[in-house]
Amino acid sequence: MHCLWCSNPESQQHIPQLGFIASRCVGAGGDCGGACLSVCPVAALSLGTQDKPIIDRQLCDGCGRCTQACPEDALNVVGRDMSVDEVIAEVEKDRPFYRRSGGGITLGGGEPLVQHHFTSAILAAAHEAYLHTALETSGFAAWEHFEPVLEHVDLLQIDFKHIDPLIHRELTGQSNELVIDNLRRVLSVKSPRDVVVRFPVIPGCNDSVDNIKDMAEFVAGLGFTQIELIPYHKMGLSKYAQYGMDYPLAGCESPSESHMARLREVVPILVK
C-alpha cells in the first residue's frame, strides 16, 4: 500500500533512503568544500541551486559515504540491514525500561509483513527472551505469510481504512479485499482480547460518519471487540521534502475534537 497520509514515506521503497535537510546545508562553496560531492562512488550527487547537492535517486544506493563526509549533518541514511541477533541486542538495551513500564517490542510500519520471515524470527526471538510483542500492520499480506507471524504476537494492531473497495484503492493504491479476508481469518487464531482494529481518521478521505459507522459495524460483526480511532497528524510531513517526495495531502488538517467525539459515538466497541 501507499496510503496518501503515510507518515513513514522513507520506508516505501524497502531499501535504505538518503535524506537531505536543505536548511542545514551551507552549500558546496562553504567551509565543507562540497565534501559530499567528491566522495560519492556512483556520482549520484550533483550541484544544484545555491550550491546545494541534488540527489539522483536512481543512482544512489544508500551507501552513506556522503553522510560521513558532511560536517553539517545535512545528509542522513535511514534504513540498514540488521540480523535478528542485532535487533534483539538493540531491544535488550531497554529491558530495564520495559520491566518498569510493562512494555516490550512493537514492530511497526512501514509494513513488517513485507519481511514476514524476518518479522517472525524477531518475534520468536523476543518471546524466547521473555519480551512482550506487538505487531502493527496494514493487514495487506497473503494469509500464508501473515498466519505464521501471529504465533509470536501478543498484541495485534491491524488497520482498516475504508469500507468501499474502490475508494480504498484510491486512498491506498490497493483494494480492501485482502485486508477484509485477513480480518475474517484473524480471530481463528487470535483472541479478540489480543487484537485492536485501528481506523486512521483522515479528513476528506475516510472520516465521514457513515464510513466509520459502516467499518465499525462490519468489524464488530466479525467478532472483534476493540477498535481504536487514530486521528490524522502531520508528523511525517517534513520527511517528504527530505526524501525528495511530494506530499499528496498538502493542506490537510487534523480532525477537530468535536468531529472525533461524533465518530466515537458511532463506534460501539471503542478502546480509544
The least CB distance from residue 108 to ligand SF4, in Å, is 25
Cβ atoms within 10 A of the Cβ of 23, count? 7
Report the C-alpha dihedral over residues 129, 133, 135, 136, rounded to 10 degrees.
-120
* Identity of the residue, 61 or 90, whose beta carbon is nearer to ligand SF4 in the bound complex: 61
**210: amino acid identity, one letter:** D
Say if residues 71 and 2 touch (Cβ distance below 8 Å): no
Comparing CA positions, the residue from 236, 227, 228, 241 lying closest to residue 254 is 236
* Identity of the residue, 54 or 166, whose beta carbon is nearer to ligand SF4 in the bound complex: 54
Is there binding between residue 63 and ligand SF4 (CB under 6 A)? yes
Using a CB cutoff of 8 Å and minimum separation of 24, what contacts does 206-210 make? Answer: 206/161, 206/162, 206/167, 206/171, 207/232, 207/255, 207/259, 207/263, 209/262, 209/263, 209/266
Tell me, residue by residue from 194 to 233, as one string, x for binding to ligand SF4 by CB under 6 A and - for no binding. Answer: ----------------------------------------
The least CB distance from residue 12 to ligand SF4, in Å, is 17
Is there binding between residue 85 and ligand SF4 (CB under 6 A)? no
Name which position in 15, 42, 54, 89 contacts ligand SF4 (CB under 6 A). 42
Comparing CA positions, the residue from 185, 147, 200 lying closest to residue 3 is 200
Is there binding between residue 70 and ligand SF4 (CB under 6 A)? yes
The least CB distance from residue 183 to ligand SF4, in Å, is 40
Q: Tell me the C-alpha distance between 102 and 118, whole Å.
A: 25
Size of the site for ligand SF4 (CB under 6 A): 30
Where does this chain touch ligand SF4 (CB under 6 A) — which range of 57-65, 104-112, 116-124, 128-136? 57-65
Place of cell 501478543: 154
Is there binding between residue 244 and ligand SF4 (CB under 6 A)? no
Name which position in 45, 125, 205, 249 contacts ligand SF4 (CB under 6 A). 45
Is there binding between residue 34 and ligand SF4 (CB under 6 A)? yes
Tell me, residue by residue from 3 to 22, as one string, x for binding to ligand SF4 by CB under 6 A and - for no binding. Answer: ---------------x----
Residues composing the chain: 272
Q: Tell me the C-alpha distance between 28 and 34, whole Å.
A: 4
* Identity of the residue, 31 or 144, whose beta carbon is nearer to ligand SF4 in the bound complex: 31
Q: Tell me the C-alpha distance between 92 and 121, whole Å.
A: 16
Is there binding between residue 28 and ligand SF4 (CB under 6 A)? yes
Is there binding between residue 25 and ligand SF4 (CB under 6 A)? yes
The backbone region for 244, taken as left when phi is positive above 0, alpha when psi lies in -120 to 50, beta otherwise, is left
Name which position in 4, 7, 12, 65 contacts ligand SF4 (CB under 6 A). 65
Q: Which residues bind ligand SF4 (CB under 6 A)?
A: 18, 25-28, 32, 34-36, 39-40, 42, 44-45, 52-53, 55, 60-66, 69-70, 72, 74-75, 77
